Structure 1
Amino acid sequence: MLSTNTLVLFWGLMFILTLTKEGLGPHAQSVSTSLCYSKENHSSYLPFLPKRLISSPWTGIPHQLQCARRSLSSFPVSRGFLYNPASGRCSPLLWLEAPSAQGAQPVQPEDGELYLSCGVCGDDFEVMELASGDLVCLRYVNEAASSEEAASHCSEMGAYLVSVKTLDKLTLLKRIAKGNVLVGFRYLRSEGVYSWLGHDEILTRQQIEKVFLPGEPNDDEGIENCGEFNHYAQGLNDIPCDFRFPYICEKALPVLNG
């Protein structure tokens, strides 16, 4: 169960809500989740829309704190809510979604105020839409670095070197990259497989065929353990990890399990 531990710290239009998940059994441990929420202008995120988690809002919720608490208690992945203080309507949100997404709904006056979890995408990161309608959160760093340096800098920002698993993502890189950029795959030489940073996922044969250049990755001369998007050839390629290029960091956005 989720119970309120530390309810709230207020400053300006922001507050922190902390919920504690109480484990069951004699050796169970409590796990706390703290989220900062900020009141947002609906228009500041256009064209993106709030992604609702329920079709009809809860009613009779007396305060935005109770709305935040119920949203997070009912949906631990929730990273926002809509709250109307006049009517007590409360709509939990996953976060944002593209207007082209199935079931996307514009905000109506009766929906009330928009609160989003602070820093889901974050300063200097940009929300972008893929052709599929999925959203990604990226930051283009136009400074040359080695793959290790780039991965470390991304990690310091709570992000990882961008993964490119689909043609949609590759198409986006083609649009935003100003030249060759580092991407987040590694050759795990001891295992003979490639893995995406930030996901610990093995690249599938289908991914390789879709997003890599023909004949790549080929581990030329046995020293190509890292990856790039090659702007000239418009595809992914493996390179030595000490090659220096600008890079793109990616932050994970909230997703529904299953």
Structure 2
Amino acid sequence: MKTWSVVVCWLCATALVGSSDKQAYICTPPFQIYEGNCYHISKDKVSGDEAFARCSRMGAYLANFETLEEAMLMKKKLKEMNSGLHFYVGGRNINRRKPGGDWRWIRNGEMKEMTYFAFGAGQPNGSDKAPQECMFFYAAERYIFHDVFCDHDTYLGGYICEKSYICSPPFQIYEGNCYYISKDKVSGDEAFARCSRMGAYLANFETLEEAMLMKKKLNEMNSGLHFYVGGRNINRRKPGGDWRWIKNGEMKEMTYFAFGSSQPDGADTAPQDCMFFYAAERYIFHDVFCDHDAYLGGYICEK
């Protein structure tokens, strides 16, 4: 299935590093910067609930247009696209019994009240008996907002995901990615949980180049600590395992082998399903038990 992403500036799809060391910006494909925000516009036709889930699986949220200016700029973009599709956004009615509803922008579990009214003629027209609690840019009225059923196959549309792209402390940009390197000594499972609580994930090094650059960084740090990363074995009964990068609920097969001597050496009876940069071999990868106090290390989060 094809998706469409906004292409508007020479800085799109790259790390944007500000003049301050305290804050940097990053927006990577399929997300791209449009009018100062980081969006992914998909033409896949889905329901409102499915649109919400797809954005969430990408570590994002259905786009919030908290100012009328943001909404009008996106409306202009959609008209220029001329796709004929409606596009779901992050507005949600949280009280179907209130006349006109109580519309909020939903973002990472938080709700923000809408401060302007930009619905089409006769909109919103949902009710307690006909709950139209989702919201999209409606193509037939030149992309003004309409309320719509969230889970009805008659109301399929594209969707616009948005993500925060500020890389701010304790995260820092290194070689174009946004990392947090912690020296707290924890198990692999605890490292996974700590990154998740920060809205991040254990770092993925999908290319050998990324892994070698981080290995260089850790050698320069010279901390003596191992550092957990986001590699995980999903089949301990397969010789050598089946190693994947885990990111926001998705798994991506590793495309290179960079384990140390005799590694990985886990087995069904000795499940070493986690992975870290191993200090004693100058930060080459080793498999390791995920929940054993004998194998504590630092960890690298990414977002």
TM-score (norm 2): 0.44
String of CA shifts for 1:66-87, please: whole Å, max 9, x gaps: 335545886x9xxxxxxxxxxx
Match of 2:253 in 1: 202
8 Å CA contact 1:170, 1:235 repeated in 2? no
Change (3 A) 1:66 1:171: same
String of CA shifts for 1:90-115, please: whole Å, max 9, x gaps: xxxxxxxxxxxxxxxxxxxxxxxxxx
Q: 1:171 & 1:23 partners in 2: Cα distance?
A: 36
String of CA shifts for 1:39-84, please: whole Å, max 9, x gaps: xxxxxxxxxxxxxxxxxxxxxxxx665335545886x9xxxxxxxx
Report SS of the residue matched to 1:214.
coil
8 Å CA contact 2:236, 2:273 repeated in 1? no
- Counterpart AA for 2:302: E
> Where does structure 2 lack aligned partners over 5 or more consecutive residues?
1-35, 53-61, 82-86, 88-161
Report SS of the residue matched to 1:249.
strand
* Correspondence list, 1:166-181, <5 A: 166-177=207-218, 178=223, 179-181=225-227
Change (3 A) 1:170 1:34: same
* Correspondence list, 1:169-248, <5 A: 169-177=210-218, 178=223, 179-189=225-235, 192=238, 193-198=242-247, 199-204=250-255, 207-208=256-257, 211-219=258-266, 222-233=270-281, 234-241=283-290, 242=292, 243-248=295-300
8 Å CA contact 2:232, 2:273 repeated in 1? yes
Match of 2:101 in 1: none
Report SS of the residue matched to 1:222.
coil
Report SS of the residue matched to 2:190.
helix
- Between Structure 1 and Structure 2, the one with more strand by share is 1
CA RMSD of superposed structures (Å): 4.1
Report SS of the residue matched to 1:127.
strand
Q: 1:246 & 1:151 partners in 2: Cα distance?
A: 11
Report SS of the residue matched to 2:243.
strand
Q: 1:145 & 1:152 partners in 2: Cα distance?
A: 10
8 Å CA contact 1:212, 1:235 repeated in 2? yes
Which is greater in Rg?
2
Change (3 A) 1:72 1:236: farther
Match of 2:19 in 1: none
Report SS of the residue matched to 2:189.
helix
8 Å CA contact 2:38, 2:163 repeated in 1? no
8 Å CA contact 1:16, 1:35 repeated in 2? no
- Counterpart AA for 1:34: A
Change (3 A) 1:36 1:165: same
Match of 2:178 in 1: 137
Q: 1:72 & 1:120 partners in 2: Cα distance?
A: 25
Q: Which runs of 4+ in 1 moved over 4 A?
A: 15-25, 68-74
8 Å CA contact 1:17, 1:34 repeated in 2? no
- Among 67, 73, 78, the alignment partner of 1:67 is 73
Change (3 A) 1:65 1:152: same
- Among 150, 163, 170, the alignment partner of 1:124 is 170
Q: 1:188 & 1:126 partners in 2: Cα distance?
A: 30
8 Å CA contact 2:266, 2:272 repeated in 1? yes
Displacement of 1:181 after TM fit? 0.5
String of CA shifts for 1:107-157, please: whole Å, max 9, x gaps: xxxxxxxxx96444344211222xxxxx21111112111111110111122
TM-score (norm 1): 0.50
Report SS of the residue matched to 1:151.
helix
Report SS of the residue matched to 1:154.
helix
Q: 1:145 & 1:162 partners in 2: Cα distance?
A: 15
Report SS of the residue matched to 1:232.
helix
Q: 2:177 & 2:39 partners in 1: Cα distance?
A: 27
